[in-house]
Each structure stands twice: as structure tokens, then as C-alpha cells.
């Protein structure tokens, strides 16, 4: 059988062959040990995807974390050069490939109805004060009651009982809008939750596309082949034939139930909210299912959002200016920061054109969550946090000492991220900041030479293994 970019098992095989996958057969507890291992790796500056092949009390199941924690892994999954990841992702998302419908697939090898329900799945608590076990990578399918089109997005779902979940549906999400229209009719909304699918589908579901967009087709564009969909067993939806597990359910109109605390994208605990009740009608899964996590508050989840933000930013800045060379939403900024690499072209008089500031304004308009955008000259590697911090230290004066020009701009009363703890997890207007960390135009050659970074001659040719035994291969 030909390997498919839409089959997570095939993707893991490819990573395994490339030496990009860590695996352990040691039995692990789903509700503390998995996230503790991932956290320990992160504190050791390791962001490898990890497959836990043995889960206590859940024979036959595996758990996968950190699939998106390293941009190099994402690039390998999408078969892209890491340096071109953001630009290529943006290009592919603009060239969708329509899904194809099939009669069945591995995702329905096992069909569970009734008890034990969710207790058959190794749903974890990722952080110590999470309210309950969660579906953290909730790739969710629903159908628009007016157009009949399917919508796919990513949400978290808190386990409330063996056959009940409570979702976190933000007020601006497409699924929340669709559910409101079902509720106005007094009808439940069919939903299929897929916590284990192709990386392309997870990324497409993370992308904030306009209402009516076929996210399954976006996934096809990212993977370079159509996603196979098949009819669900108990709800009127088409679901991925190669999924690991599918939770079929209905979102009930009427009463609301508490959801959270949960350590969200900002790595702080979100406030307790209320959501509708999700009642489960069936769970289907493969014979050898892999439950995938979105390690919220860590690079795994941040990079999923970052790539989608970068695609939106690329499209916005290209409408504004041609000076941008690279865009980066770093995992270290929890999705709140954006760095631009720019090539400034001075005016005839040698002054600033200000195009890079137009680009910064475009960033803030393109992505609600961004609250800090920094522009750097193109000689700064914006994908290296050390270079970013070094450039901020060496090149930035908030007020230019020569001209008195403000190089830091604060904008107040604009919408921000509800998961930002400094906004107190509310939707009221936030403030945002733009920093111009580029070298000012109009400098003399001597003044510009003062920014030259001192380098050590011959460093690139040195092999540390020639000097230190610790660096020699065994």
C-alpha cells in the first residue's frame, strides 16, 4: 500500500526512518507522566516528537506528543525545506485540493457504543491544575445548517463523564456561529471530534479561514493529495477515513456547564467558562490507535498556531509593501509576538520611507492575537531568539538620540487575545506595541560600521571533535 501524507501512521514511519522520532515502550500514566516527559525534554532544549507506545490501563493505544514542537519536524512532515516553511505553507494554503469520498477506512475498524465511552481513550490531564482530562487536539467537524457545507476547526473538550464533554468554543469561532444557528432552531448540532489525524488536517483546522472555506480542501493543498472522507456511523458528517480515533456526538442546545481551568496557549490557566453539553453517540478507532496531544502552552501547540498566523501575515504585508523578506511568529512568544525581516530602501535624500512600519501595522490588522511586532534588518536571523535579543540590545533606542524620533509605538484600545493573562482572559480592548529595531537610514559609513558584529576568523572551519573527545561519535 502506498504511503499517504494523510495517514498519521505513515507520517510517523517517515519520521522514524529520518531519525526524527523518539519512541519509548515503557508504560506511562496518561494523566501526568506523558506531559512530564515532554516538559523535561523541553527544559533540556529538546523538541523531538515523542511516541509513547505503551499506556497504562489502555492496551493497544499509543500517545503522541510534540509533533509540531520543532519547525524542522513540521518541514519534514510537509516535505519542505525548513528555511522555506512559512512561505511554502502560505502558498499551499492558497491552492486547495478537494477531498474525495470513500465508503470506509481504518478509522472504523473498531466501533464503540455506550460504556465505557471516553474511559476507553487515554485522555490526559496535561498540567497539574487542569479541571479534568481533556481532548486537547480536538479537530472538530460540523455542518452548516444553512449551506450544508462542513466546517473543521480545533477546540479543546473537557471530559464531564464517560459519555459527556464540554467544549471551549470562542465567540468568534466558526463552530460557535454554526452552533448558535442550530440552537436558534432548537436542534442539536452533530459533531465529530478527531484527536488523531494527519498533520496537514490539524494545521488546516488551525488556520482561521473565512466562513464557508472547506478546511478539508486546505488540508489537501498542504499535503499535496486529497483527504479521504467517509460517512460517520451515527452522525450526518463525513470524517477522515485514515483517522486514529473519531468521537461522534451531538452538541445540545440549552443548558451551559462549567469548563476549565485549563492551561491554555499562554501557559496560564484560563478562567472557568460555560459551554454546551456534548453527548457522545459512538467512538470509532483504528486497531492500533494513536491519541495525539496538543501540548498547550508549549511549542507543540504554539507552532501550530504560528504557521497559520504567518500565512495570514504574509498575505497582509504583501498587500502593504514589498520590503518584507521573512515573517516569524516564535513559539517563545506564545503566539503574541511577530518578527519581520525587512529590506529598507531609503528615499532619494537617504531618509526613511517608512514601508516597514506599514508592514508592522498590517501585521496587527491581520492577526488579532499579535500584541508585539518587531522589525529587524534582513541580516538578523529572526528564527534565532538569540539573534533577535542581540539585535534588540545592540540596535534599538526607543527614542533615536540623533533625531528624537520615537522608534517604539504603542496602540491602545484594539482587540487582543482572550487567552492572554495580561488581558485577564477577557475580550475587552487591549494595547499593542510596534518596535522598529532596524538600523536607521541616513547614517554615515563610520556610524553604520559601529553596528558591525565582531566575528572570530576561522570559526566555521573548526570541528570540535578534533579538540574534545565529548564531541566524537562513538
pLDDT tens digits, one per residue of 322-335: 999 999 999 999 99
Taking only the tens place, the pLDDT of each residue in 35-74 is 999 999 999 999 999 999 999 999 999 999 999 999 999 9
> Residue 414: which of 358, 366, 468, 474 has the closest Cα?
366
Pairing of strands 62-65, 290-292: parallel
Least confident of 20-29, 73-82, 354-363, 455-464: 455-464
CATH class of 321-449: alpha beta
Residue 298: all three cell numbers together: 508549549
Half-sphere exposure of residue 398: CA atoms within 13 angstroms, side-chain side: 4
Q: Check residue 1 and give its pLDDT.
A: 46
Taking only the tens place, the pLDDT of each residue in 177-222 is 999 999 999 999 999 999 999 999 999 999 988 777 899 999 999 9
3-state helix, strand, coil in the chain (%, to 5): 30, 25, 45
pLDDT reading at 121 higher than 90: yes
Band of the pLDDT at 97, cuts 50, 70, 90?
A: very high
Q: Considering the chain, what percentage of its residues have pLDDT values greater than 90?
A: 76
Q: Check residue 473 and give its pLDDT.
A: 58
Residue 56: all three cell numbers together: 497504562
Cβ 178 vs Cβ 150: under 8 Å: no
| φ, ψ of residue 225 in degrees (nearest 5) | -160, 155
Least confident of 10-24, 78-92, 164-178, 221-235: 164-178
Q: Check residue 452 and give its pLDDT.
A: 86
State the residue for C-alpha cell 450526518: 236
Strands (E), 222-299: 228-231, 238-240, 245-259, 273-285, 290-292
Q: For the structural domain made of 83-295, what CATH number should be given?
A: 2.30.110.10
Cβ 157 vs Cβ 136: under 8 Å: no
236 vs 170, residue with greater confidence: 236
Mean pLDDT comparison of 232-241, 255-264, 398-407, highest-scoring range:
232-241
Distance of CA 75 to the CA centre of its chain: 14
Least confident of 12-21, 38-47, 281-290, 343-352: 343-352
Q: What is the average pLDDT value for the chain, to the nearest integer?
A: 92
Residue 284: all three cell numbers together: 470509532
Band of the pLDDT at 171, cuts 50, 70, 90?
A: low
Taking only the tens place, the pLDDT of each residue in 293-303 is 999 989 999 99
| φ, ψ of residue 111 in degrees (nearest 5) | -125, 120
The residue ranges of every structural domain in the chain are: 83-295, 321-449
Amino acid at each position: 500500500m502506498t504511503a499517504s501524507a494523510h495517514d498519521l501512521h505513515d507520517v510517523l514511519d517517515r519520521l522514524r526512518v529520518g531519525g526524527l522520532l523518539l519512541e519509548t515502550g515503557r508504560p506511562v500514566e496518561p494523566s501526568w507522566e506523558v506531559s512530564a516527559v515532554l516538559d523535561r525534554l523541553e527544559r533540556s532544549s529538546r523538541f523531538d516528537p515523542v511516541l509513547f507506545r505503551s499506556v497504562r490501563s489502555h492496551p493497544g493505544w499509543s500517545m503522541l506528543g510534540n509533533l509540531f514542537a520543532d519547525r524542522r519536524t513540521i518541514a519534514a512532515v510537509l516535505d519542505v525545506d525548513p528555511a522555506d516553511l512559512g512561505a511554502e505553507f502560505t502558498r499551499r494554503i492558497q491552492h486547495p485540493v478537494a477531498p474525495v469520498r470513500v465508503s470506509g477506512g481504518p478509522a472504523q475498524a473498531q466501533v464503540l457504543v455506550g460504556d465505557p465511552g471516553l474511559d476507553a481513550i487515554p485522555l490526559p490531564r496535561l498540567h497539574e491544575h487542569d479541571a479534568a482530562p481533556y481532548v486537547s487536539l480536538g479537530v472538530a467537524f460540523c455542518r452548516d445548517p444553512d449551506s450544508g457545507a462542513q466546517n473543521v476547526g480545533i477546540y479543546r473538550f473537557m471530559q464531564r463523564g464517560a459519555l459527556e464533554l464540554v467544549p471551549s468554543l470562542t465567540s468568534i469561532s466558526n463552530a460557535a456561529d454554526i452552533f448558535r444557528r442550530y440552537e436558534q432552531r432548537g436542534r442539536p448540532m452533530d459533531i465529530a471530534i478527531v484527536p488523531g489525524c494527519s498533520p496537514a488536517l490539524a494545521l488546516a483546522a488551525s488556520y482561521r479561514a473565512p466562513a464557508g472555506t472547506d478546511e478539508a480542501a486546505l488540508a489537501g493543498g498542504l499535503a499535496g493529495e486529497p483527504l479521504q472522507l467517509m460517512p460517520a456511523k451515527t452522525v450526518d458528517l463525513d470524517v477522515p477515513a485514515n483517522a486514529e480515533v473519531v468521537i461522534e456526538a451531538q452538541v445540545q442546545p440549552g443548558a451551559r456547564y462549567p469548563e476549565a481551568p485549563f492551561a491554555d496557549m499562554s501557559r496560564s490557566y484560563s478562567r472557568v467558562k460555560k459551554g454546551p453539553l456534548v453527548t457522545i453517540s459512538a467512538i470509532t478507532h483504528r486497531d492500533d490507535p494513536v491519541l495525539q496531544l496538543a501540548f498547550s502552552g508549549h511549542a507543540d501547540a504554539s507552532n501550530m498556531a504560528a504557521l497559520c498566523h504567518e500565512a495570514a501575515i504574509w498575505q497582509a504585508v504583501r498587500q502593504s509593501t514589498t520590503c518584507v523578506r521573512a515573517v516569524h511568529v516564535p513559539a517563545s512568544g506564545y503566539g503574541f509576538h511577530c518578527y519581520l525581516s525587512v529590506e529598507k530602501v531609503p528615499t532619494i535624500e537617504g531618509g526613511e520611507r517608512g514601508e516597514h512600519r506599514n508592514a508592522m501595522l498590517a501585521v496587527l490588522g491581520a492577526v488579532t492575537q499579535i500584541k508585539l511586532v518587531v522589525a529587524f534588518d534582513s541580516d538578523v536571523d529572526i528564527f534565532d531568539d538569540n539573534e533577535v535579543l542581540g539585535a534588540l540590545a545592540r540596535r534599538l533606542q526607543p527614542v533615536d538620540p540623533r533625531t528624537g524620533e520615537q522608534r517604539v509605538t504603542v496602540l491602545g484600545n484594539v482587540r487582543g487575545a482572550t487567552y492572554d493573562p495580561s488581558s485577564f482572559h477577557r475580550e475587552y480592548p487591549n494595547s499593542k506595541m510596534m518596535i522598529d529595531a532596524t538600523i536607521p537610514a541616513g547614517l554615515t559609513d563610520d556610524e553604520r560600521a559601529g553596528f558591525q558584529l565582531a566575528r572570530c576568523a576561522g570559526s566555521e572551519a573548526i570541528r570540535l571533535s578534533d579538540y574534545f573527545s565529548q564531541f566524537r561519535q562513538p
